[in-house]
Each structure stands twice: as structure tokens, then as C-alpha cells.
Homo-oligomer: A and B are copies of this chain.
Amino acid sequence: MTGTASRPTLEAVAARAGVSRATASRVVNGGDGVREPLVERVRRAVEELGYVPNQAARSLVTRRHDAVAVVIAEPETRVFADPFFALQLRGISKELTAHDSQLVLLLTEGRDDHARVGRYLAGGHVDGALVFSLHLHDPLPGLIQGAGVPTVFGGRPGWADGTRDAAPTVYVDCDNRGGAREAVRHLAGLGRTRIAHITGALDQTSAADRLDGFRDVMADVDPALIAEGDFTPAGGEHAMRELLERRPDVDAVFAANDLSASGALRVLRERGRRVPDDVAVIGFDDMLPVAEQTDPPLTTVRQDIEEIGRLMARLLLRGLDRGAVRGLGHGAARDLDRRAGEDHLGDAPSSVVLPTTLVRRASA
């Protein structure tokens, strides 16, 4: 095990360079307003001593940490099984790296973890938090609020905005409801009349919103055509079996995400139903490793997951940079018509809802 030497302090560097601690500090932090020869001497001293600033000491005075926590309210097993998180994390990671901020991933499995995460956030280890995959009645938002850490959520949180706090909740999400509507309309446009829905985990707003979108189009749908899933392939399989049992005449399925859709597809094949001839299937997310690998390839509602991650990070960093984390303006959800690739942000951090697009492949 590699050992811990007692590291040299700025004091030591200053002494070796023959300058004051203040000058040494200036050089270490960029060297503005220090004359070249001194800069040089300090740099050499740093080099020779192998000096690295003590972050605890620095943070104590600057109150900055150059680190952002990402909190995923989901057990590791799911986090690592679902490409969704990987994509989001990648977007976040890219943005943070560009800002020279360290990504600190906090996984929370059980209730004990929640408390620990709360303490970690409150303890001032990070400048802010990015939180996603929140479930209804999750204690996390409360803890985070208690911790007083600037936070941006991934996906609309499950509580009514503005009721919990003076400062508005900022989140990034895609247009779940609109995307769902588009999917169902597409199925209807194909002439399907017995359109079913496999929901996601209904304690998450994304699932609830997609269900709402489904209902927007299928106003008086037979409840038997709605089966509850949980965003996993297994959940999709189970729901599909249920659907086939309750309504053998089903001719289309809108699944709450691609993973569920892949499960549904498997069951349909097993039961000898041809897709899309007998039953048309649409997913949600357009997760390439899933949607392109299914048989047949999946028609789906695309959302730019990586971009969501990137925006979350950008929103947070922007809020931090301007030091204004209280009483920020809170615009209505918007940007529905902006093209991806543009900067989806306004001047003041406010929630952003990204558009979705239907991607047609073979399954519907």
C-alpha cells in the first residue's frame, strides 16, 4: 500500500523560493501580478518539493471545492444495468471536465445511504449536486434542501414546484407527455385501434407523464389496455403477457421505454405474433444499444439523454459561477422548438424541457 508522506506546505515553498506565503499563493493560483523572476523561482520550488495545495485548507477559505456530486437514487445493480445512466453521466462528465470540476458519484441503495449522502452534501464537500432518478416520497430532496447545496434535478421532481422552497426547483427533462402523444398518434395513424400501454415505474414522473400523454390521445381507453411495468425488460415481458391475456386482440403497444419494449418484443415473438404486422410496437428513449439491436429494430421516441446530462451540469455551473443561487429567475418550461446542439439555456438558470422526436424503424 503506497504510503502517506507529510506533504510540504505553501510555507515551505515560500521559504525555499525566498518569498512570502502570499506571493507563493499567487503563483500557485495563476501567477497574475507577480513578476516573472519570482514566478519562476516559486514554480521551481513547487516542483522540487512536489508541492500540492491542501484542498481542505483552500476550501475552508474559498468555499469552493471544484467538485460536483451526482446522486443517483437507485441501487447499483440498476444503475449499472441501464444504459440510460451511462449516457446521462457521460454528458455530465464532459461538461464538468470542461469546467475543471471533479465528478463525485454518490450511489444510494437504502435509507442509511440517504442519511450518509445527506451528511456528505451538507458537510460541504462539493459545490453543488446533480440528482436524478428520483422516486415519489424520496427523502433525498428534503435532505438536499436541508444540506443547502445548489442542486439541479434530472427529470421533473415529483412534488409541486415552488411549494417547498423559496428558491425554485431547477430541472432538465424531455417532453415526456408530448413524446408519448406523438408515439400513440403514430400508432393510430397506422390504423391501429386496440393500442395498449406498458407503463414505467409510476412513482417516477417520467412514467406518469408518458401515461398522461397516452391518455391524451386515447381518451376513453379500456383500462385493460394499460399494464404496469417498471422500465426493465423483465417488467416489459410481464406486462406484455398480461396484456395478451386480457386483450388478445391488441394490435399495438406503446412501451414507456426501450428496455420494456424489448421485453414486450420477446414475449410477442414467443407467442408467435408478428411485429409489426400483428402488433406494432413503439418504445421511448432511443437508446441505441437497445433500440437498434432488437428484432425487429425498434421504432421509438428519441430523447437526447446525454444532452440532458450536459445541460444539468451547465445549469448548475452557471448558477455557481454567478454566485446567485437564491432567488434565481424561474422561467416557464420552454425551448421545445430549439434544435439540439444549440445552447438550450437562457440567462438565468431555469428548468429546461427538451423536445423529443419520433424515430421510425421497423417495429411500427
Interface residues, chain A, with chain B CB atoms under 8 Å away: 1-5, 7, 50, 52-57, 59-60, 65, 67, 76-77, 79-81, 83, 85-86, 89-90, 93, 97, 100, 102-107, 109, 112-113, 116-117, 119-120, 122-125, 144-152, 165-170, 289, 315-316, 319, 325-328, 349
A-B contact pairs, 29 of them (CB 8 A): A1-B167, A1-B315, A2-B148, A2-B169, A3-B150, A3-B325, A4-B148, A4-B149, A50-B146, A53-B123, A54-B60, A55-B56, A55-B125, A56-B59, A56-B65, A60-B60, A67-B120, A76-B93, A79-B80, A79-B86, A80-B80, A80-B85, A80-B89, A93-B109, A97-B112, A100-B116, A102-B117, A103-B106, A104-B105
A125 proximity list for chain B (CB < 8 A): 55, 67, 125
Which of chain B's residues have a CB closer than 8 A to the CB of A106?
102-104
Main secondary structure of the interface of A (DSSP, over half): mixed
| Closest 10 A/B residue pairs (Cβ) | A80-B86, A3-B326, A105-B105, A55-B123, A56-B59, A52-B122, A56-B60, A1-B170, A3-B325, A3-B167
A349 and B86 contact, CB distance less than 8 A? no
Which partner residue on chain B sits nearest A327 by CB separation?
A: B3
A170: B residues at CB distance < 8 A: 1
With a cutoff of 8 Å between Cβ atoms, the chain B residues found around residue A52 in the complex are: 119, 122-123, 147
CB distance from A141 to the nearest CB of B (A): 9
Decide: B124 and A56 in contact? CB cutoff 8 A. Answer: yes
A77 and chain B: residue at smallest CB distance: B86
**A319-B116 in contact given A54-B124, A107-B93, A122-B52 (Cβ < 8 Å):** no
A218 to chain B, nearest CB (A): 35
- In this complex, what residue of B is CB-closest to A62? B56
CB closest chain-B residue, reference A98: B112
Residues on B with beta carbons closer than 8 Å to the beta carbon of A103: 105-107
Task: List the B residue with the shortest CB-CB distance to A315.
Answer: B1
State whether A97 touches B80 (Cβ < 8 A): no
> Once bound together, how far apart are the Cα atoms of A327 and B1, in whole Å?
8
Cα of A89 to Cα of B315 in the assembled complex, Å: 29
A100 CB to closest chain B CB (Å) equals 7
Q: Which residues of B contact A144 (CB under 8 A)?
A: 2
Question: Which of chain B's residues have a CB closer than 8 A to the CB of A107?
Answer: 89, 93, 103, 105
Q: Closest CB-CB distance, A48 to chain B, in whole Å?
A: 14
Say yes or no: A1-B119 contact (C-beta < 8 A), given A85-B80, A147-B52.
Answer: no
- With A and B bound together, what is the CA distance between A220 and B326 in angstroms? 72
Closest CB-CB distance, A73 to chain B, in whole Å?
15
Most buried by B among A67, A80, A116: A80
